Structures are given as C-alpha cells and as structure tokens.
Amino acid sequence: MRPRWRGLGNGLRVEAQEVLWKNQNIHVFVCGSFRVSGDPKGICHRKDSSGLVQYLETEVSDRGLDGVTVSSAGCLKLCDQGPVIVVYPEGHWYGKMDEDRIDQMLDALERDKPAEELLLS
Ligand code: FES
C-alpha cells in the first residue's frame, strides 16, 4: 500500500511523516480496578472509569488521533488518586480524572506536552 504522503513535496512529506510518528504508539491506560482475582476493587471503577474509557475512545476518534490506543488496565496502585490514567511511552500519570480533565489531557497531548496541572507527582 502506498503511503498517503507519496507525491507530496519533500517538505510536506517530512511534515506528514513527523505527524504520523508523533501520534503513533501512544498508549493510554485507564484503571479498571481489576485485581488478580479478576474482580474490580478500589476507587476507579466506582467513579465510572469504564465510562471514561468509552469517552476517551470517542474523543481520540473524533480528534483523529490515529496512533493513540486506549485500554482498560488493572489496578494501577494509586487508588486514592482515582480514577487514574497513565500515558505511555511518556509515562505521564494523571489522577482524579473525569471528562473535563481528559479533554485537558488530550488538548495537551495534541500539543505534544503533558497536562502539567493534572500530573500526579
Ligand atoms: S483502583 Fe484505580 S488505582 Fe487502584
């Protein structure tokens, strides 16, 4: 399959490649509170972290962030900060997440930066 940027001038081709790289391989994990037993326990699922997964997937799609994958994770061990989200490969950890804070996080991600004010220290 031909890359979409073929036929573009050199400058545009490089820019298109950079955009593709920038948005690739970003993995957003949302705590689903799952434990080894398989049962969800902890704060995050009680604060509707599964709803946040759906919200994130919709927002990622609406924003065209093709290289961003969203997954539900087991307990991320910071339960008192829940709902917790971690973004890899950067390793940015976010706490007390809701839809407004997810919007801020994604706005920052689109600028290739963390949402500093939401990061867990
Ligand atoms: S339940 Fe989410 S961090 Fe433990």
pLDDT digits (tens, 9 = 90+) for 21-78: 455 699 999 999 988 776 767 899 999 999 999 999 999 999 999 999 999 999 999 9
- Candidate of 77, 80, 85 to mutate for ligand 1, largest count of ligand atoms within 8 Å of Cβ: 77
Which pLDDT tens digit goes with each residue over 9-33? 656 555 655 555 455 699 999 999 9
Across the chain, mean pLDDT equals 86
Residue of 76, 94, 97, 120 to mutate, ligand 1, most atoms within 8 A of C-beta = 76
- d(CA 114, CA 79) in angstroms, rounded, equals 21
Residue 31 in 3-state DSSP? strand
- What are the start-end ranges of the H helices in 23-112? 43-46, 49-62, 99-110
43 CA closest ligand 1 atom index? 1
66: Cα separation from own chain's centroid: 12
For residue 76, give the nearest of 68, 87, 64 by alpha carbon.
Answer: 87
Q: Which CATH superfamily is domain 26-118 in?
A: Glutaredoxin (3.40.30.10)
